[in-house]
Amino acid sequence: MQILSRSAVLLAAMHATIVVGFIGSTANAAGNERGIAQPQRWPQAHSQGLVEPQREARVTEMMARMSLEEKIAQTIQGDIGSITPEDLRSYPLGSILAGGSSPPLNSDERAPAQAWIDTARAFRAVSLEARPGHVPIPIMFGIDSVHGNNNVVGATLFPHNVGLGATRDPQLIFRIGRATAAETAATGADWAFGPTLTTPQDDRWGRAFEGYSESPDVVRSFAPQMVRGLQGEAASSGSLQNGLVAASAKHFVADGGTTQGIDQGDADIAEDALIRIHSAGYPPAIEAGVMTVMVSYSSWQGVKNHGNRSLITGVLKGRMGFEGFVVGDWNGHAQVPGCTEESCAAAYNAGVDMLMAPASWKGLYKNTLAQVKSGEIPQARIDDAVRRILRVKFKLGLFEAARPWEGKKNVLGAPEHRAIAREAVRKSLVLLKNNGNVLPIKGNARVLVAGSGADDIGQASGGWSLSWQGTGNKNSDFPNGESIYAGLAAAVERAGGKTELQVDGHFKTKPDVAVVVFGETPYAEMQGDLRTLEYQAGDKRDLALLQRLKSAGVPVVSVFLSGRPLWVNPELNASDAFVAAWLPGSEGGGVADVLIADASGKAKYDFTGKLAYSWPRSAAQTVLNVGQSDYQPLFAFGYGLNYGDRNTVAKLPEASGVAAGDWNIDKYFVRGRTLPPWQFSLRPQSGVLAMQIVDAAGVQEAGRQLVWNGSGTASLVVVGGASTIDLRRQTNADLSLLMNYRVDEKPTAPVHLALKSAGHVTTLDLTSQLQSAPVGEWRTLKVKLASFVDAGADMAKIEEPVAIGTGGKLRLTINVLRLESDPQGAIKLPAVK
């Protein structure tokens, strides 16, 4: 190896990290150009433990041996659902990720840990192969370990961040980070896409649960602890190993500051708010040595962050002295004007070092290579990116024999990790109401346990749990977990009492008390965005259950599962005690630890949780944050009762303050009903196509039978009235249109599936699916939304999301039409020319 003097090495490093910086900004002196930050206004920080002379020398030496092609490949990350280990021979990418819906190789999302280990090994082996003209560089494997190693069956699932915020316990956050790192490394990944350092300001945002708090102070105090937990001590020289992983502070910046809480939207706020509220977690995370930062999909003042050089290069790498690498979000670069999934010089030039290009990595590689050759992306910019990536790989210990760590036994779901998770559950519970001191429950009582969330670990875990959306899970998918009911039953039985589980709340013998566990069902990202904060607007099923119990004279304890505070005044009124339990994860026993006392009534643990998000007084209080001028919460930031309190919550007003109705852009027809604003329309209205209500798949009146008589062309169309919907994010996330159907009589002519957007109808060919379907059998079809894009549709302005039509004869019964997030089995349909 070439020997460089210490100062030459440092100079090279400085050149790479700083000088490439902030050229060509168009910010004027007054700084009032929209979306252009003024770095000198931001807090200063500096990465610890990343730039070290010896390590930089190794990087320099390695880069000297790399071809331009190899360098570019280092800057690209593909998803294991769309790349094979063999692909790495021709395209030696720097990184792979497992997206939330991407299973390990040759397996599915609920595969055993070994499948993940085999996957990591298969990719790593190819990246390390000795081939002529190739510098072996280990691949870095990233995964969304955002509440434990949550993609892997058997892992400990910690409470989501919304619950952790309520603990106010930074030291606990550190221990959770340590356990998460160990479980993540044990199944072969090197890199956790967390912590999420968002400071959500509008609780309608579908990702509010990923944030610790609406308060920058809480985020600031947790950020370095999670980084230290995942990565180890920044200042320690040498590299990470023994069950530590790289962290990723995300999503830079103001992902939680978008207008109306729209996911991937625009934070139309002053720079001051960006700094004061939304950047709080970053300086301490950088000081703690965070190795990567992920850019937010969102924009600031109309400028997409992925293309914002003033923020990424000026603020993050310049002012905040960040010396690790910046990773883009899932095709986030494609949203920069002028870019596509496969081409985005602007993101590189803005300072993104590695682009997350799940399925688009190959095209991106080719275009980036051409852009560097043509000078559109300066060679120095690519060198800076590669230097940062290799620096992290060395620091992470990827080149060292003591790594990898995977395959270590008894780490996944280890008892000591589960104990930490259980402690976190206990500490995250916030007692909102305890009239008449119904809680704690005497251990020798007769306890009825009810509600959909009582015996459902999946519901308690929320999104990012085995699957991206956290849907489709059974308790058996959490072999090391315990449902809230199971925890209650164990505690009550230990103390000599009795429990009975009846999800719908019916009982034979009158119980002394009922614990009802209910709340939001799992969602992730844009799928969780709301229009108002009203819980179960228009369909107050859980309220009905609470009221039934109350009118039977049973004291009611509500345990509310949610990713954010919601307006639940009617449910609060119908409960004697009300516990905000957030999304506690797989250690449901933590709930019983606090709720169930011994036979004499002495509690084992008191409540200590304090609200980290203000609780709304009306469903319209969507932006409600401590410190704001007109701050009038129902329960303020910091509120939380304990057993010493003799506090009575009086009856609350039950007018929600908003017009009913959810933001329904993805459910058109379910359980026999079209959901507002959607309706069916037949075109033409009569003569060719008839529709009747029928029973479907064993459910009364759940289906619609459509009969085309062949005397002309006609369609069933889903119409929604006034406004258009934007399905671009859903398309990027690879959602599909799901139809449950039964062919009763085969088509005699081509059948079309269409959508209308921006005044234009895009038509796909559905004929062969219906032709080949066995008559009289229910089937599910998932058509990737991307098919419509391929056929030329503009997904931004959809007027009619679904139409089915034919000119021939056909008898078809349908009972579901909605969007679906699980890509398993989804297909693309060809366009009709």
Report the interface residues with ligand BGC, using CB under 6 A.
97, 99-102, 144, 193, 250, 329-330, 468, 525, 733-734, 823
Residues 479, 155: Cα–Cα separation, whole Å: 9
Identify the CA nearest to 166 among candidates 665, 607, 618: 607
Specify burial of residue 730 (Cβ count, 10 A radius: 0-12, 13-18, 19+).
buried
Q: Angle of helix 415-428 relative to helix 170-186, nearest 10 degrees?
A: 140
DSSP code per residue over 655-685: --SS-S----SSEEEETTEEPTT-EEEEESS
Q: Is 329 a catalytic residue?
A: yes
Q: CB of 651: closest distance to ligand BGC in angstroms?
A: 41
Q: Which residues contact 348 (CB under 8 A, 6 or more apart)?
A: 75, 355, 368, 371, 377, 381, 382, 385
Of 193 and 635, the one with the shorter C-beta distance to ligand BGC is 193
Are the C-beta atoms of 650 and 598 separated by less than 8 Å? no
| Catalytic, out of 169, 203, 255, 525 | 525
| Catalytic, out of 210, 255, 329, 341 | 329
Q: CB of 96: closest distance to ligand BGC in angstroms?
A: 11
Q: CB of 102: closest distance to ligand BGC in angstroms?
A: 6
Q: CB of 81: closest distance to ligand BGC in angstroms?
A: 8
Are the C-beta atoms of 546 and 223 separated by less than 8 Å? no
Q: Is 342 a catalytic residue?
A: no
Identify the CA nearest to 274 among candidates 258, 287, 295, 294: 258
Of 232 and 358, the one with the shorter C-beta distance to ligand BGC is 358
Identify the CA nearest to 730 among candidates 623, 652, 820, 622: 820
Are the C-beta atoms of 584 and 484 separated by less than 8 Å? yes
109 to 81, 115, 152, 244, 823: CA distances (angstroms): 11, 10, 8, 24, 11
3-state secondary structure of 355: strand
Q: CB of 823: closest distance to ligand BGC in angstroms?
A: 5
Of 207 and 422, the one with the shorter C-beta distance to ligand BGC is 207
Of 101 and 499, the one with the shorter C-beta distance to ligand BGC is 101
User: How far separated are the first and last CA of the chain, in Å rounded?
Assistant: 60
Of 252 and 637, the one with the shorter C-beta distance to ligand BGC is 252
* Alpha carbons within 13 A on the beta-carbon side of 348: 28
User: Around Cβ 658, how many Cβ atoms within 10 Å?
Assistant: 17
Q: CB of 341: closest distance to ligand BGC in angstroms?
A: 13
Of 42 and 193, the one with the shorter C-beta distance to ligand BGC is 193
Q: Angle of helix 170-186 relative to helix 216-231, nearest 10 degrees?
A: 40
Identify the CA nearest to 439 among candidates 430, 427, 428: 430
Residues 280, 201: Cα–Cα separation, whole Å: 13
Of 214 and 525, the one with the shorter C-beta distance to ligand BGC is 525
Are the C-beta atoms of 321 and 25 separated by less than 8 Å? no
Q: Which residues contact 201 (CB under 8 A, 6 or more apart)?
A: 214, 256, 257, 261, 277, 623, 625
Of 449 and 733, the one with the shorter C-beta distance to ligand BGC is 733
Residue nearest to ligand BGC (CB): 99
Which of the residues are catalytic?
A: 329, 525
